């Protein structure tokens, strides 16, 4: 990752065995494309690919001490194209090691979103009892059929790994789930559940404007069980990237949560993720919820899902999302790469006014990033560092925190008229898309704001209210780092941490 450009050029040449001038020029161009993680707007404590296009997180699984993060990836351009699964691993959810592309397109199609599990009992027969396989379940997108006007061009396939995810072999009899004649039939999220004392695999699948649930004894043979699509849910666009998982209430009662991403139709335009809290009996998901609830009220947290196989001794439900929005993802002002992930978050349930809501809190491992700390006193603060974590406590009903730089750009986070807002209309570069320069709002309803935690990276801001009871994530592209912070309506003393670069 930190090789000099010249060293990287010779390394690439040595791999191929070429030495002529034209090949040096090609390798030089390739080294430029790979990125140094020092480019303008490159995130410094969020995950981003070395180069080129990235979108949805995929296949997230914990195995043998590593958090695996796969993702939708196009290795040949910085805009969306034929999808592969990119791959990175981490031992602490903070520092990431980039690995080669894990799963590439084949004759059945491009490799769209999906999930990965540890088949600990070798129910698939793809490994052994002594060496159970990791199994990836993904959508095949047959672009040739799609371009020809067919509607059955998406199917589900599997691949497996016997070496901790370093290499993957596709199942010879793919697809394992054929298309029944539906245009949008994708994004399988699989988990093992126990029903009446028996284990079975459950697949949550996005099927146009509903979630279909399938079951399997072995990850290979799948049977349809039920569908979920209440009339009152958000239907502004296609449903995508479902995730079904259990959570406990604060008093220890077991509930189930279903995440469903939608594009367009988000609360502030474009992409967003809604969620449902209810019950799952091993076949059908039901909910008493009667209104749409959003996991993140910002514009830039989409297609997020949870890690599988988290040890019981840990007990957390860990989540990460794609930090972008389809309204402008392909035109944001980055060149070498496009897109990053949110910070990893822990999901939990809390109760407010007799309703259950999801809290989304930054993982505690992020505290490893903290460098210098300081108490913020007064209303005007000089910022000496670019990467920041800021903890604020409001003392007035309405408040604001305004970040400024020497170029006259400003980013404002605040509360007014019962809404939390992020104003990025003058935050920096905004003219690459007519919808980007916006005031992003989240209704607080009955939620009283007791504290606010802010994470500021080179091109993003994530705002967590009351330990994640309400969250807003947004991209920003200032032409220079913010150097001043103006506080209004907060307590006299607040906390600031400078954060370390991970790349």
CA distance 157 to 172: 10
Identify the three-state secondary structure at position 241.
strand
CA distance 345 to 366: 10
CA distance 439 to 418: 15
Identify the three-state secondary structure at position 450.
coil
Following DSSP, what letter does each residue of 26-79 receive, concatenated?
HHHHHHHHH--S-STT--SSS---SSEEEEEEEEEEEETTEEEEEEEEETT-SS
CA nearest neighbour of 54 among 70, 41, 37, 38: 70
**Other CB atoms within 10 Å distance of the CB of residue 295:** 24
CA distance 328 to 476: 12
Respond yes or no: is residue 56 known to be catalytic: yes
- Two structure tokens written together for 420: 């939390």
Give all strands (DSSP E) within 314-363, no chain letters: 317-322, 337-338, 345-352, 355-362
Write down the residue that tokens 């406990």 correspond to.
248
Contacts of 206 (CB under 8 A, 6+ apart): 184, 185, 186, 187, 238, 239, 240, 241, 242, 260
- Two structure tokens written together for 70: 């796969």
- Two structure tokens written together for 209: 């404007």
Max Cα–Cα distance, the chain, nearest Å: 72
CA distances in angstroms from 224 to 153, 217, 219, listed in the order given: 19, 13, 13
Identify the three-state secondary structure at position 228.
strand
Q: Of 28, 29, 32, 56, which residue is the catalytic one?
A: 56
Contact 250, 349 (CB under 8 A): yes
3-state helix, strand, coil in the chain (%, to 5): 5, 45, 45
24 φ, ψ (degrees, to nearest 5): -60, -45
Burial class (CB in 10 A: 0-12, 13-18, 19+), 131: exposed
Point out the residues that are catalytic.
Answer: 56
């Amino acid at each position: 990752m930190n090789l000099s450009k010249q060293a990287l050029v010779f390394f690439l040449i040595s791999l191929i065995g070429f030495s002529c001038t034209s090949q040096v020029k090609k390798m030089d161009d390739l080294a430029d494309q790979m990125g140094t993680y020092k480019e303008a707007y490159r995130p410094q404590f969020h995950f981003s690919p070395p180069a080129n296009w990235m979108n949805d997180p995929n296949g997230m699984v914990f195995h043998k001490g590593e958090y695996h993060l796969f993702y939708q990836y196009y290795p040949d351009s910085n805009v969306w194209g034929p999808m592969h699964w990119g791959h990175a691993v981490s031992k602490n959810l903070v520092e990431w090691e980039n690995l080669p592309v894990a799963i590439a397109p084949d004759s059945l199609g491009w490799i769209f979103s999906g999930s990965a599990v540890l088949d600990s009992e070798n129910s698939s027969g793809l490994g052994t009892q002594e060496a159970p396989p990791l199994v990836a379940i993904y959508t095949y997108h047959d672009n040739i059929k799609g371009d020809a006007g067919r509607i059955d061009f998406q199917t589900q396939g599997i691949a497996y790994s016997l070496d901790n995810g370093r290499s993957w072999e596709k199942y010879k009899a793919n697809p394992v789930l054929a298309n029944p004649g539906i245009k949008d039939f994708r994004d399988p999220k699989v988990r093992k559940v126990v029903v009446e004392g028996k284990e079975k695999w459950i697949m949550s699948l996005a099927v146009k404007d509903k979630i279909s649930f399938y079951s399997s004894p072995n990850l290979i043979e799948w049977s349809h069980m039920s569908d979920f699509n209440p009339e009152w849910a958000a239907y502004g666009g296609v449903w995508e990237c479902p995730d079904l998982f259990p959570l406990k209430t604060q008093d220890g009662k077991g509930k189930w949560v279903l995440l469903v991403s939608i594009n367009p139709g988000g609360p502030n335009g474009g992409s967003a993720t809604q969620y449902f809290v209810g019950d799952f009996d091993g076949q059908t998901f039901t909910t008493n919820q009667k209104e749409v609830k959003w996991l993140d009220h910002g514009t830039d947290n989409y297609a997020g899902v949870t890690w599988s196989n988290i040890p019981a001794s840990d007990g957390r439900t860990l989540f990460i999302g794609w930090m972008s929005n389809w309204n402008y993802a392909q035109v944001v002002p980055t060149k070498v790469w496009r897109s990053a992930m949110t910070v990893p978050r822990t999901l939990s349930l809390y109760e407010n006014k007799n309703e259950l809501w999801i809290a989304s809190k930054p993982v505690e491992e992020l505290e490893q990033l903290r460098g210098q700390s300081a108490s913020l006193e007064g209303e005007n603060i000089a910022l000496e560092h670019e990467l920041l974590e800021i903890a604020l406590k409001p003392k007035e009903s309405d408040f604001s925190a305004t970040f400024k730089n020497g170029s006259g750009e400003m980013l404002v986070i605040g509360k007014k008229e019962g809404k939390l807002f992020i104003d990025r209309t003058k935050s920096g570069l905004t003219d690459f898309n007519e919808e980007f320069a916006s005031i992003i709002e989240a209704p607080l309803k009955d939620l009283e704001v007791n504290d606010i935690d802010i994470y500021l990276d080179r091109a993003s801001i994530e705002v967590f209210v009351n330990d994640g009871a309400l969250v807003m994530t947004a991209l920003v592209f200032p032409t220079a780092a913010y150097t001043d912070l103006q506080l209004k309506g907060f307590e006299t003393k607040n906390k600031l941490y400078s954060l370390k670069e991970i790349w």
